[in-house]
Amino acid sequence: MSDVSSLHPSKEVGFSMTPSPRLNRRLPRFMSLLLGLASPALMASTAVAQVSPETTPIEPSQSEAATAQGGIPPLMAQAPSVTGNRVSINGISVSVPWMQRQNQIGLADYGLTDHVGLTLLNSNDAQRQPVQWFSSAQTPTVLSAWVQGGYRYLDLTPLQRSHGWSATVQGQTLNLTVPATQITNLRSGNQPWGQRWVMDVSGPTVAQISETGGSVTVTLAATATPAVAQSVVRPSSGLPPAQITSVGQSTQITLPLPDANARPVLFTLANPHRVVVDVRTDHLRPLDILWAPGLRWRQQYFTVGRKTLPVYWLQLSARDAQTALRPIWTDPTTATGITPLQTMAQRWQATAAINAGFFNRNNQYPLGAVRYSNDWISGPILGRGVVGWGNGQVQMDRLVLRQTLRTGSGQTFPIQAINSGYVQAGMGLYTPAWGSTYRPITESERIVTVRNQQVVGQQSVTGDVSVPIPRDGYILALRAYDTPAPALASGTAVTIQSDVVPPSLAPFPHIVGGGPLLIRNRNIVLDAGLEQFGSAFASQAAPRSAIGYTATGDILLVAIHNSPAGSGPTLAETAQVMAQLGSVDALNLDGGSSASLYLGGRLINRHPRTAARVNNGLGFFLP
């Protein structure tokens, strides 16, 4: 029996704690996006072949043999493809996108990490992904890779050939049969950073990992020897023992999580074959992967003062960032509502996404700027920081939108905000981007309905009464502000004048708000009070999301989390991290439980069960 403490992750799989040195919105297309949610097959851009309900075996082709030896098969984007969204591994079914093209079978990369046990390694070639699976990081298996429909598929051919896997397609399900192995021992040991669990197996073994509150379950495509099945392995730390359950030809091992900040890290080793699960608070594994042309996935620790902070970010190249980045929100038909970022990104078919602006969690109304293709989905408030992009430029600054209602007789009245959940005494403007109806936000409001630049009616509304928003106009909500009412009789002609301050932000077709502004022109300009954030918010240490812009024109989508010691970054520490990442401009976004970073089907910065629902985000789209 080997000592579990001898398996040092930094030597085995590259673990390190070394700090770094540094839509037109209502177009029919959106409805097709919503209808296409249920199946990744509906989101594929190539021709999709109809699949017979009969089982179809898949054998590696000659071109795949070249892939297994490290070569890249010819580009096959023109060939018909088959896609599905269920994978059954030795009878255990999971929801993972897969694609077959010319006898190549690809699984979404997160399916291979979460449900097979592969470890992704650093890569500078978007078409070649080195992985570690019962091998060393120095001699990895290289899988060909391609991105389609928002997922990055990794070819299974080298694994099929090396380990005797077989694959068949039945409808939307890919059936994988892998050789069953045996668990010969289970042991545990305390480490300075947490708890290590080691499962000795008789050969390369598929390992699936899942988390629930307070525990992690590892499912191995292996049977347990009688001695292992009847054993009681209790950590010396006093945590509950591992629970071992046989499920057909598989075995489930449930392990305790010592605290809310601990996460499991699974990796495999060879000679002898082992599945290792480290439960640790410093669970980030440094990574640098060119995930697709123009899109790099990175994560590592940064040191700010005495804190070591885990940082996850997506780097969007200057060539692609401005044309492929778009605001996204819960539902293309309304500005209101909240949903998990993962759901939002998949609804819009975004390849990558980050949460963005603030919102009221109670009524689910937006509290900040969202401008899509020159149309205000939600207006800016309180002169807070925004990012605007398009027309070959990116700008971050504090934004004020001044809007004035003018009657035909020349009377003018200020508009407080457009399509916003932020309310004060005054007049709010609500367009069809808000939704098909408007419900009063305050106890009693006077609603003025305008169609084709002419007032068509007024009414006092209280309670839960909904007022239609005309598709050819808008409504004005008067709150404790009756002054304009006599001037807005039916038949009155009205226009709206809008001025953007600073004017340099006016030409940008896309704008998303957050705040406070962190960096401008390489200088830290953090001033939470200036943007009317409270002192408690300004000093709070919590997970953060942010967006940065580099001197080379790259855009950075960044999530920063709690240090292994416990606390997350303050706003000042967030600004310092963004500067270390090379940002010449940077903006704080909504944070805390909202901080979510999505890539290719999963959140890369946190477990989905810990992520709150959000109102809007930034989506990155690939063809």
Nearest Cα to Cα of residue 343 among 209, 146, 150, 88: 150
What is the percentage of the chain residues whose pLDDT exceeds 70?
Answer: 87
Which of 42-46, 185-189, 487-491, 581-585 has the weakest average pLDDT?
42-46
**Could you give the angle at which helices 28-35 and 341-348 cross, rounded to 10 degrees?**
120
- The residue type at 180: A
Q: 178 to each of 90, 92, 165, how far by Cα in Å?
A: 7, 12, 5
pTM for the model: 0.88
Selection from 57-71, 97-111, 190-204, 400-414 with the highest mean pLDDT? 400-414
CA distance 501 to 498: 10
Report the relative pairing of strands 444-451 and 454-462 from DSSP bridges. Answer: antiparallel
Distance CA 108, CA 97 (A): 6
pLDDT at residue 1 greater than cutoff 90: no
Query: Contact at 8 Å (CB) between 131 and 139?
Result: no
Confidence (pLDDT) at 56: 58
pLDDT at 39: 32
- Token look-up 């089982």 returns 55
In sequence order, what DSSP letters do the residues of 202-224 get, joined into one string? Answer: SS---EEEEEETTEEEEEESEEE
Q: Is the pLDDT of residue 14 over 50?
A: no
Answer whether residue 369 shows pLDDT above 90: yes
pLDDT range class, residue 27, cuts 50, 70, 90: very low
Instruction: Give CA 42 to chain center in angstroms.
Output: 21
Please choose, from the candidates 451, 453, 444, 454, the residue with its C-alpha nearest in 3D space to the C-alpha of residue 477: 444
* Preceding omega of 516 cis (within 30 degrees of 0): yes
Q: What pLDDT is attached to residue 11?
A: 39
* 3-state SS, residue 304: strand
DSSP state string for 87-132: EEETTEEE---EEEETTEEEEEHHHHHHHT--EE--BS-TTEEEEE
pLDDT category at 58 given cuts 50, 70, 90 is low
For 184-198, 464-478, 506-520, which range has the lowest pLDDT when averaged over its residues?
184-198
The pLDDT of residue 514 is 98
Torsional sign, CA 275, 278, 279, 285: negative
pLDDT above 90 covers a percentage of the chain that reads 77
* Closest residue by Cα to residue 426 from 415, 438, 437, 418: 415
pLDDT tier, 5 (very low <50, low <70, confident <90, very high otherwise): very low
Question: Domain boundaries in the chain?
Answer: 4-10+180-280, 38-177, 293-399+504-620, 400-501
Query: How confident is the model at residue 234, as a pLDDT?
Result: 75
Residue 43, pLDDT above cutoff 80: no
Least confident of 287-291, 536-540, 600-604: 536-540
| Per-residue model confidence (pLDDT) at position 365 | 98
The residue assigned the tokens 């969007």 is 316
Higher pLDDT, 345 or 68: 345
Residue 50 has pLDDT above 80, yes or no: no
- Per residue in 419-428, pLDDT (tens digit) is 999 999 999 9
Q: Which of 189, 222, 197, 196 is nearest to 207 (CA)?
A: 222
* Confidence tier at 318 by pLDDT (50, 70, 90): confident
pLDDT in tens, 74-123: 333 344 689 999 999 988 899 999 999 987 899 999 999 999 999 999 99
Question: Residue 442 and residue 181: Cα distance in Å, rounded?
Answer: 64
Q: What is the pLDDT of residue 47?
A: 35
**Terminal-to-terminal C-alpha distance of the chain:** 52
Instruction: List, for residues 230-257, the tens digit of each pLDDT value.
Output: 888 877 667 788 999 998 889 999 998 8
Residue 277, pLDDT > 50, answer: yes
Residue 74, pLDDT score: 37
Label residue 61 by pLDDT band (50, 70, 90). Answer: very low
Q: Which fold would CATH assign to domain 4-10+180-280? A: Immunoglobulin-like (2.60.40)
Question: In angstroms, what CA-CA distances link 12 with 118, 134, 298, 487, 496?
Answer: 14, 11, 20, 76, 64
Phi, psi of 595 (to 5 degrees): -60, 110
Q: Which of 567, 558, 541, 548 is nearest to 599 (CA)?
A: 558
Provide the strand spans (E) within 379-509.
Answer: 385-390, 393-398, 400-407, 412-415, 417-418, 426-430, 437-438, 444-451, 454-462, 467-468, 473-479, 494-501
User: Quick check: 38 pLDDT over 50?
Assistant: no
- Mean pLDDT (the chain) is 88
569 vs 559: CA distance, rounded Å: 11
What pLDDT was estimated at residue 36? 33
Task: Tell me: pLDDT of 26 over 70.
Answer: no
- Residue labelled with tokens 């309310």: 423
CATH topology of domain 400-501: Jelly Rolls (2.60.120)
- At 349, list the tokens: 């078919």
Q: What is the mean pLDDT of residues 19-29?
A: 38
Q: How confident is the model at residue 411 (pLDDT cuts 50, 70, 90)?
A: very high
Cβ density class 292-307: b for 16+ within 10 Å, e for less: bebbbbbbbbbbbeeb
State mean pLDDT over 455-462: 96
**How high is the pLDDT of residue 55?**
55
- In whole angstroms, give the CA distance from residue 531 to residue 548: 19
- Distance of alpha carbon 232 from alpha carbon 186, whole angstroms: 9
Identify which has the larger pLDDT, 116 or 35. Answer: 116
* Continuous H helices in 336-383: 341-348
How many helices and strands (H and E) does the chain possess?
10, 51
User: Which pLDDT value is given to residue 319?
Assistant: 79
List b or e across 4-23, with b for residues whose CB sees 16 or more CB atoms inside 10 angstroms.
beebebeebbbbeeeeeeeb
pLDDT digits 0-9 by tens, 547-560:
999 999 999 999 99
* 3-class DSSP assignment, residue 324: helix
Give the rounded distance of the alpha carbon of 39 from its chain centre.
19
The answer to whether the beta carbons of residues 351 and 617 sit under 8 Å apart is no
